[in-house]
A and B are shown apart, each in its own frame.
Chain A
C-alpha cells in the first residue's frame, strides 16, 4: 500500500512505494515529531529459526539521555570542576509532539527530581529511597532508557528468547518469545514478552519498580509503567526503535518515542565492560564517613 503525499510539484500527487512513510511535514518551527527516514523497502536476513535477524551491536546517537524533550546545551553538575567534559549537547527530543502529558502533581514532581538529580542520600533503611538520578549512582537504567544511553548494546537471538546485553553496567534483559511470562515481581528492567509482527519485534514490558527515570532531567514513571517497544530493521545497518509509554499514575495519556539505532560495523567491534560501581563508591559512601581515617567516626 502506498501513501499519497502532496509534493512541491504543483498539483501532482505522487504515490510513494509501500514502506516509505513520512510524518510531521508541517514546516519549520512546528512541534518536532519523530521523522521517519526515507529508506527503500528492506527485507532483513533471517535467523536459522526463521525470524528476522537483528543480532549484533547497536547504539543510538540521540542526546535523549540528557533530556528526552528538545533541549539546549547545558553545563553538567559541578561545572566549575567538570567544564566542557561534563556538559551536555543540545538535541531534538525523541518524544512525539515534544511534550510530556504529566498530571499536575507529576509535573511538580519532575521539577523536584530535576533540582535533586545530583543528590546522593544512600541509606540502609529499606523504607527510604531518596536519591537523585539512578544513572549517577550506577544503578540500572531500565526500559526504554538503556536503549538510548550513549553506550552500545548487543542483541543475541535464539528460538525462544531474545537476549539484550547492555555495555552500561553489563545489564541484560531477556525477551521471552515462546511462552508468555507474567512479571514475577518488580524489577529495574521489567519483564519482557515479545512477538514478531512482520519485520517488527513487538515487546511488551511491565513489572517495573518505582524508580524509573527516563533521562537526567528528572522525567520519571511510577511502578504502573508499561512500555510497548517496536524494533524494525530498515537497512543492513539501521534499525528503527519506537515505543509507547503508558503510566496512568503519572501521565494523562500514553505517549510515543522514536529514534534510529546504528549498527557498529568495525571488524573489532565489541562490548567492553562498563563497571561503574568502583567509580561511584566514593560519591555514595563518603557522606557516611566510610572514607575517614578516624574509625570512631561511624
Chain B
C-alpha cells in the first residue's frame, strides 16, 4: 500500500473517531469479556457434551445425510429447461430456501481450489451437518435443532464449490478502498441505536439484498410471479421486493430506499434484476447508497433455483464480486408474518447491555488516566 494511502486511512479514521462521540468506546469494549470463561464454565458444569446431545438427533441426522449426499450440487452439471408459466415466462414461483454450509469466502488454504471432488464435498458436508446437529451444552437461549431449524433439517445438499464467492477467482471479497475501509469501521455496532444492525432495528431482514445465507435456517422465501412483476418475499422481517418487469426506468436518484429500486428483465431462462437507489444509511459490508446490485435467478431443476449476485461499488471495493447459491425448494407450509418491529424487545436489551459496558469502559478509562 502506498504511503499516501496509509496516511489517508489514518487521517480518515482519526477524523471518523473525532466526529463520533469522542468518548465512544471501541466495539471490542462492548463485548462481555468474560463470555469465553462463562461458556467454558457452563460446559464444565453440564452433564451433557456435544457428543451426547448429538445422540438425540443422530438417527434423523444420519438419515438426512444419507439422502442429501445422493444429490450433490454440481454447478457445471447440465441444467433442465425451466417449466413455464401460463403466459410463457420461466416459472420461478414457489417457496425456496436460501441456505448453505459452504462459507462465503474460500479458506486461504483452498485459494486455488474452487471445486471439491465429490468425496471431499461429502466429507465437508458431513462434518458441518454433524456439528450443526450437536447442541453446545453452554447454550442458554434455545438451540435451533429442537425447532427443526438447523440447515441440515432442510433440503440443503452438498455443494462442490469451496466458497459462495465465485468471482474474484480467489473466492474472497476484493480489498476495500480507503473510503470503504473507513465506512466499514464506522458501521461497527456500538452503544448507540443508529450504530446497531438493520436487522436488530427491524428495518430490514438478514436476507439482503443481496441474499447471502446465514448459518441458521432463516432463508425461507416465496416467489410470486405475474406478467408485470416478480415478487420476492423473505421470511426474515417479512421483507417484500417487487421486481418490476416491462422496461420501466428506475426511479430518479433522488428517491432512495432501504431495499433499493429493482428493475428486472428476462435473458433466456434467467431473470436478471438490477437494483440501485439504496438509502445512504444502509450499511452493508462497508457499502452504503452507491451499491449497484445485479442478481440472477434461474430455475435449473424442478427443485432448485440458482441465485447469483454481483456487487459493484467502486467507492467501497476495488473490484466487483459475485456469489452463487443454489436454493432448494422448501417444504410447506410456507411463510408466516414476521412482525419484528412491533415491540422489539431485542434492541432494548441489546442497547441496555451495550451502554452498561460503555459506562464500565469509560469509568476504567478515567481511572486509568487518574482523573477520577
Contact = CB atoms under 8 A, between A and B. Distances in A.
Interface of A: 48-49, 55, 122-124, 126, 129, 134, 138-140, 154, 156-159, 161, 163, 165, 170-172, 174, 181, 184-185, 187-189, 211, 268, 270-273, 275, 277-278, 281, 285, 288, 290-291, 293, 295-296, 298
Contacts of A165: 231, 240, 242
B233 A172 contact: yes
Nearest to A291: B193
B337 interface: yes
Grouping DSSP codes into helix (H, G, I), strand (E, B) and loop, the A interface class, with mixed when no group exceeds half, is loop
Contact of A158 (B21, B93, B333): B93
Contact of B229 (A126, A156, A290, A291): A156
Interface in B36-72: none
Grouping DSSP codes into helix (H, G, I), strand (E, B) and loop, the B interface class, with mixed when no group exceeds half, is loop
Interface of B: 21, 23, 86-87, 93, 191-193, 201-203, 224-226, 228-229, 231, 233, 238-240, 242, 244, 248, 251, 255, 257-259, 281, 333-337, 339, 341-343, 345, 347-349, 351-352, 355-356, 358-359, 362
Given A277-B203, A277-B341, A281-B201, A158 B349 contact: no
Contacts of B342: 134, 139-140, 188, 211
B359 A273 contact: no
A273 B257 CA distance: 6
11 contacts: A126-B345, A154-B242, A156-B229, A161-B224, A187-B336, A211-B342, A285-B348, A288-B351, A290-B192, A290-B351, A295-B23
B258 A268 contact: no
A243 B40 CA distance: 58
Contact of A139 (B93, B258, B341, B351): B341
Contacts of B229: 156
Given A285-B348, A295-B23, A296-B362, 8 more contacts: A134-B342, A139-B339, A270-B242, A278-B203, A285-B193, A291-B193, A293-B21, A295-B358
A285 B349 CA distance: 12
A188 B337 contact: yes
Nearest to B362: A295
A291 B195 CA distance: 12
B138 to A, nearest CB: 24
A30 B341 CA distance: 43
A189 B238 CA distance: 12
A129 B355 contact: no
Nearest to B238: A172
Contacts of B351: 285, 288, 290, 298
B242 A271 contact: yes
Given A156-B226, A172-B233, A272 B193 contact: no
B231 A163 contact: yes
Given A49-B86, A172-B240, A163 B337 contact: no
The 9 closest A-B pairs by CB, nearest first: A273-B257, A298-B355, A124-B348, A187-B337, A295-B358, A296-B359, A124-B345, A48-B86, A139-B342
Nearest to B342: A139
A214 B353 CA distance: 37
A257 to B, nearest CB: 23
Contact of B339 (A48, A140, A174): A140
Nearest to B241: A170
A275 B224 contact: no
A48 B359 contact: no
